[in-house]
Structures are given as structure tokens and as C-alpha cells.
């Protein structure tokens, strides 16, 4: 009898197309779910009949309480090599092997610039007007050359965003709690003396920090108030780093020029959520990691993980 595998959150229906699942086809039956399962009871009911679960990034939490309700589960594959929403101790206690995959930082870098450029040049407004026989030219674009790009975080993604900013002729500065002048100099950017200085001096602010106790709520009402009324905020990192209520208030009151957001407190966003209709907001449905190359890696290596586990030699085990 074949084992059963389910792929979660296959919104585009491509999981079985972007990898060769036939290599495990004789031993594993694979199905994918295109609808998101938003609560533990729904997950427990839907996953009860599966031995293997493939989950995308950190979209679905796997706390100990859920693991305990899935006695048939034996292998959990998560895209990426870091996942903060899986209870690894519970997995070990219940005999569940956890494996990851590689993940490229290129797609979120590119999406960051898509949002930033879309905001700066009013792409959505102008395209909507043009296609709807509206006014010819209704916005005046914000320049990038000579303006300051402020980066909260200068890790793998932040440093690559910085390089693009420099190529545009922007002045780039960065801040994080442990960022040094030496590291900033390596990337060719200035070290802001404080978070407050970076926010107050930047024309564009982009968030590239990992979510943790020290970064949760890092940008609240007081911090957003430091930004110029002509400045833009971009967040392709984690929603909880920016206070969502404070951001909505700043957008509605016009205290910042706009925001480009790819991450939200609730995903998928419910119908009628305030973020769906907020003014001055260019929003995308968490597309930062969604690219053909990344998905090919995720699902291709998920198949490799399953095959290796079936052969008794799991690879890319988490936590690493």
C-alpha cells in the first residue's frame, strides 16, 4: 500500500508540475490542496489521513497540539531551511522527521524593487487610468537618483537590495541592532546611528529583518511618525515587524506618501480586510518567495527529501 502525501497551500496548482514526483510514485500517492486551512481543527481533520505533509514556508503553524492530533504523520517537509512555526520537540517526541529545502533570496529582492518602483512612479494608478479611459498623466513620480534608501537590516536580502539602490544612484544607509560600520562598508552603504535617524532621513524605507522578540512591533506609531510625509515604506519581510494598525492610520491620514506591503498579520487576507482597501497602499499577496525558480527548488527538493526518507537516509533535516 502506498503512503499518502499532501502538499499544502498550492494556490496556483503547480506543485505536481514543477517537480518529477514519478520517482516516488510507486511508493507515494501525492495530492495538493489549493485552499488554505486556517485553523487547527480544520488542519487536523484534513491531514489525518496522510503520512507525509509538504508545507510552504511558515504559512501553516505546526504546534505540538497539532502534531499530537496527527498520529499517522511521519514526515514533514518545509520549504526553506529555517522555520519558526514548527514544534521540533513535539515532532521528535511523536516520531516525525522534519526536512527542509534550499531557498533563494533573489525573488524577495526583486519583489522589493517591484513594489518600490511601483510606488515611486504610480504604476498602478497610471495603468488603471489608462486602461479605463481615465486622465492622461495624473501622478508626478518620485525620483530615486540622489534620494536616500534606508534599510532596516543588511543581511543576505538587505545587502542585495542595497546594491540595486546604489546602481540607481541612491544614497543608501542601513541600521539594525548589531550592524557594524565594517559590515556596512563591505556593502558600500552608510551606517545609520540609530533606527530613529534612519527613519527620519530616508525617502524610502525597506524592512529586511528576521522576526523575533526584539523586532516584533519594531515600527509602531511613534516610529512611523518620524518618517517624512513624502517617504515610502516597503515591507517584504514579516508583517509583525510593523504595527498594522499604526500603518493603516498613517496611510489613511496621509502621514507617509505610501507603503508597499507583501506580508500581513492574517494570510490569506479575509474579504473586507482594511488592508485590501487602504489608500496609498500597493499590496501583493505574499509573493516574495513565489517565483518559478524558487518553486522548482522547493518541490524538486521536497521530492528528494521524501525519496531519501523512504530509503532510510533523510537529508536536509531540520532544525539544522
- Quick one: CA dihedral 61, 67, 72, 76, positive or negative? positive
Interhelix angle 106-120/156-167, nearest 10 degrees: 40
Separation of alpha carbons 263 and 260, rounded Å? 10
Catalytic hit among 208, 238, 304, 316: 238
* Phi, psi torsion values for 98, nearest 5 degrees: -120, 130
CB under 8 Å to 129, separation ≥6 — which residues? 135, 136, 138
Alpha-carbon distance of 90 to 86, in angstroms, equals 9
**Which is catalytic among the residues 160, 208, 286, 316?**
286
3-state DSSP assignment of residue 188: coil
Catalytic annotation on 238? Answer: yes
Q: Identify whether 208 is a catalytic site residue.
A: no
Q: Which residue in the list 267, 273, 280, 317 is annotated as catalytic?
A: 267
* Interior angle at CA 224, CA 221 and CA 229, nearest 5: 130
Instruction: Sort 291 into a burial class: Cβ within 10 Å, 0-12 / 13-18 / 19+.
Output: middle
- Angle between the N-to-C axes of helices 106-120 and 123-131, in degrees from 0 to 180, rounded to the nearest 10: 60
Catalytic residue set:
238, 267, 286
Amino acid at each position: 500500500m502506498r503512503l499518502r502525501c499532501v502538499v499544502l497551500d498550492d494556490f496556483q496548482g503547480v506543485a505536481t508540475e514543477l517537480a518529477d514526483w514519478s520517482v516516488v510514485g510507486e511508493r507515494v500517492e501525492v495530492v495538493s490542496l489549493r485552499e488554505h486551512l486556517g485553523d487547527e481543527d480544520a488542519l487536523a481533520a484534513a491531514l489525518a489521513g496522510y503520512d507525509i505533509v509538504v508545507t510552504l514556508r511558515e504559512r501553516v503553524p505546526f504546534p505540538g497540539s497539532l502534531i499530537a492530533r496527527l498520529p499517522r504523520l511521519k514526515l514533514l517537509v518545509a520549504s526553506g531551511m529555517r522555520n519558526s512555526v514548527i514544534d521540533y520537540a513535539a515532532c521528535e517526541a511523536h516520531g516525525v522527521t522534519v526536512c527542509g529545502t534550499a531557498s533563494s533570496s533573489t525573488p524577495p529582492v526583486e519583489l522589493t524593487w517591484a513594489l518600490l518602483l511601483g510606488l515611486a512612479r504610480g504604476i498602478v494608478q497610471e495603468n488603471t487610468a489608462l486602461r479605463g479611459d481615465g486622465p492622461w498623466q495624473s501622478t508626478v513620480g518620485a525620483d530615486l537618483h540622489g534620494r536616500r534608501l534606508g534599510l532596516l537590516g543588511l543581511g543576505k536580502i538587505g545587502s542585495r537590495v542595497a546594491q540595486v539602490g546604489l546602481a540607481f544612484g541612491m544614497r543608501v544607509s542601513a541600521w539594525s541592532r548589531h550592524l557594524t560600520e565594517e559590515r556596512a562598508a563591505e556593502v558600500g552603504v552608510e551606517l545609520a546611528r540609530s533606527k530613529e535617524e534612519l527613519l527620519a532621513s530616508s525617502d524610502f524605507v525597506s524592512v529586511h529583518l528576521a522576526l523575533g522578540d526584539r523586532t516584533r512591533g519594531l515600527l509602531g506609531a511613534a516610529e512611523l511618525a518620524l518618517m517624512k510625509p513624502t517617504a515610502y515604506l516597503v515591507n517584504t519581510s514579516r508583517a509583525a515587524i510593523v504595527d498594522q494598525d499604526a500603518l493603516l492610520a498613517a496611510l489613511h491620514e496621509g502621514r507617509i506618501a505610501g507603503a508597499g506591503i507583501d506580508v500581513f498579520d492574517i494570510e490569506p487576507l479575509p474579504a473586507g480586510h482594511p488592508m485590501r482597501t487602504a489608500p496609498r497602499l500597493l499590496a501583493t499577496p505574499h509573493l516574495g518567495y513565489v517565483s518559478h525558480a524558487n518553486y522548482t527548488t522547493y518541490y524538486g527538493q521536497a521530492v528528494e527529501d521524501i525519496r531519501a526518507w523512504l530509503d532510510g537516509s533523510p537529508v536536509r533535516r531540520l532544525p539544522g
